[in-house]
Every structure is written in structure tokens, then in C-alpha cells.
Structure 1
Amino acid sequence: MASVKIVVSDPKTGKTYQKELKEKKEKTLINYKIGSVFDAGVIDFPAYRFEITGGTDKDGFPMRKGFMGNERKRILVSTGQGIREKKKGVRRRKMVCGSTISENTAQINCKIIKYGSAKIESFFEQSKEEKTESS
């Protein structure tokens, strides 16, 4: 499995935070679907709960809710991600991947459902410090 980035959005402040997951932590999220709520303690956010809102695969194709599985397919769509047609009723074929997280997922987008005791910024300040030390 390639490295996975998790993007967490905070609905209270409107800010988003990004962190790269370690390989052991990535495997705990496999087979979750868009809309699933999970305990974020498994990825080092104790007492938090996140909801999966989307993501992309290793080649940048977006995950689409309602499209089962984890493979890529060209589907005929009229609304949704990547569609901004000016004429009403126009449909296009778009390449999307399924709503299930797999080994090919490169980014997972989440939002906070339940807040923990520690502030969310404190978890991401640690990852910034680790990056500057390794550079």
C-alpha cells in the first residue's frame, strides 16, 4: 500500500489539516466506505470520531459515493464531482473509483464528528516538527 494522506476538516473553524499515516495505521482503514464513522484513536487521534467524506486513488481519480467497490470505472454522470455543465441535462462520462477504501487509495478526506479533550491543532503541530527535523 502506498503512503496515505489523511485530510481532516474541522466544521467549527472551517480549517483543514493534513497528515501522512504510517503503514500500520493505513491498514486499519481498509474496507471503510464513504459515510462511515470511525474511532480516530486507531490513527493517533484519541477520543475523536471522524466521518469519511471522500478521497482519491493513487492516480488522482476521486472516490464517488454510491459507486460500490474499490475499482475504477468510467460512468455516465450529469451531476457530482467534476461536472459543471452549462446546459441542463447534459451527461458526460467520467472516470471515478469506488466508495470503499483499498490499497490503491492515496488520500482520505474526513470531517470531525466528535471532539476529544486535546485540540486538533496539537496533533498536526507534532507532524510539522517531525518534517522539519528530518529535512
Structure 2
Amino acid sequence: MVELKVVVSDPKTGRAYNVDASTGAAGSIVGKKIGDELDAGPLGLAGYKILITGGTDQTGIPARKSLPGAGRRRLLLAEGVGFHPVMEGERKRKMIRANEITLEFVQVNARVTAYGEKTLDEIFPKVEKAEGEEKKAKERKVRK
């Protein structure tokens, strides 16, 4: 059974929303590539269109748009997705996943490109923090 977590980012508000996609909804994403635009109706976002911007597999290996096909490969990287050099000119061989969404993916990142009738705030109600969490957050601010 295919299960994906789709992180949908809203460029208007700057917020991100988590959508759990199982079987049918996840099946509509499997086989697509990073950079593909698709209808978000199966994810419960009627009227919305999303652009796939990235993702990771079950071991946390990121997907790279510039790497065609499916599967994982070890590449010598100088910059970009999967490697951020500390020193100038630094290169390192890293494991990177190709740009095709497969069954091994756990998380898919996406951005909204076309909006539906309802806003994302209406579709995803805001989760309120418990009283204990609010106190802890205040205490952390006071300590700083």
C-alpha cells in the first residue's frame, strides 16, 4: 500500500500544509516527475493545481530535479540539492534520488500554482496548542 506525505506550500501566505495521501491519491502522484504540475483534487484540494518541487525517500535521501529516471545514484556534487559545501571548491560523493516519484518516496514537496474556491485555511483548520505547550513556549522566550 502506497502512503505519501505531501507538503503543500502556499506562496501567498508562506504557510505549508501536510496532506496524508494513501492508496488512490498517492497513486496519482507516483510516476510523475519533479517539475510536473498536477490536479490536487485527489488530495482533497478541489480546484487547486500543484507543482511538484521535490521529495525524499524512507531513508531521507533527497530527490534532485536534474537527475533523470528513477532510483538512487551516487554523484560527485559541488552544490545544490543534497549537498551544501562548507569550503570553497569542496566536492563530495553523495547518494541522490532521481526525479521520478516512485513507491519508495515518503514525502513529496509541492507548491500551489492555481487556487480553488476555498482557501487553504478553510480546508485545513488551525491546530491550537495545548495550555502546557503555550507555557513552555513563553518560558523559552523569557530565558532568551
SS at match of 1:4: strand
Other-structure match for 1:66:
66
Deviation readout 1:67-124 (Å, 9 max, x if unpaired): 1122011111101124232332221111111111011110010000011110112222
Which residues in structure 2 correspond to 1:1-135 (within 5 Å)?
Answer: 1-125=1-125
CA contact (8 A) 1:19 1:124 kept: no
Q: Which amino acid aligns with 2:122?
A: S
Aligned residue type for 1:116: G
> How much is the aligned-residue C-alpha RMSD, in angstroms?
1.6
TM-score (norm 2): 0.81
- Alpha-carbon distance, 1:2 to partner: 4.2
Aligned mates of 1:105, 1:84 — CA distance in 2 = 22
Which structure 2 segments of 5+ residues have no match? 128-144
Q: What SS is found at the alignment partner of 2:121? A: helix
Percent sequence identity is: 35
C-alpha change, 1:39 and 1:2, in structure 2 (3 Å) is closer
- For normalisation by structure 1, the TM-score amounts to 0.86
Aligned match of 1:131: none
Amino acid of the structure 2 residue aligned with 1:36 = D
For 1:112 and 1:80, locate their aligned partners in 2 and report how far apart those are by CA, in whole Å. 23
- Over 4 Å off, 4+ runs: none
Matched with 1:132 is none
Contact 2:3 2:22 in 1 (8 A): yes
Higher RCO, 1 or 2 (CA under 8 Å, sep at least 6)?
Answer: 1
Matched length: 127
Report the residue type matching 1:78 in the other structure.
Answer: A
